[in-house]
Copies of this chain bind each other. A is one copy, B any other.
Amino acid sequence: MPTKTQERLKSQARVLKALAHPTRLLLVEELARQTRCVCELRDAAGVDISTVSKHLSLLRNAGIVKDEKRGLKVFYSLKTPCVLNFFKCVESVQKCSK
C-alpha cells in the first residue's frame, strides 16, 4: 500500500476518532446549539472539568471546534456545522444495517 494512502487513511481516522466518544459527541451537540464556556459544558457532560478540557483540546486539534477567550472564560464553538452530518451518517448506518 502506498505511503500516501496510509497517510490519508490515518488522517481520516483521526477525525473519526476525535468524534468516537460519547462525551465528545455530547460536547459537539451542545456546541451545535450554541457557543458555550467550559464550565457550562462540564455541567452538561457531568465529568470533571479537567476531563472536559482535555476532550475539548482534542476536538480543537482535530479541527472540529474553535475557542475564544473572553475575560476569565473560554468559549468554544463548532468550527464548521458540517460536522453535524456525522450524526446523520450514523443514523442512516444504524437504520440500514438492522
Q: Is A82 an interface residue (CB 8 A)?
A: yes
Contact of A17 among B1, B20, B85, B93 (CB under 8 A): B20
Contact of A80 among B13, B16, B17, B96 (CB under 8 A): B96
Which stretch of A21-29, A33-41, A49-57, A69-77 is in the interface? A21-29
Contact of A44 among B1, B23, B82 (CB under 8 A): B1
The SS class assigned to the A binding surface is helix
User: Quick one: closest B residue to A88, CB to CB?
Assistant: B85
Q: How many copies does the complex hold?
A: 2
Q: Which residues of the other chain, B, contact A93 by a CB distance below 8 angstroms?
A: 15, 63-64, 80, 82-83, 86
Q: Is the CB of A26 within 8 A of B1?
A: yes
User: Quick one: closest B residue to A7, CB to CB?
Assistant: B22
- The 3 A-B residue pairs whose C-beta atoms are closest, nearest first, are A63-B97, A80-B96, A9-B22
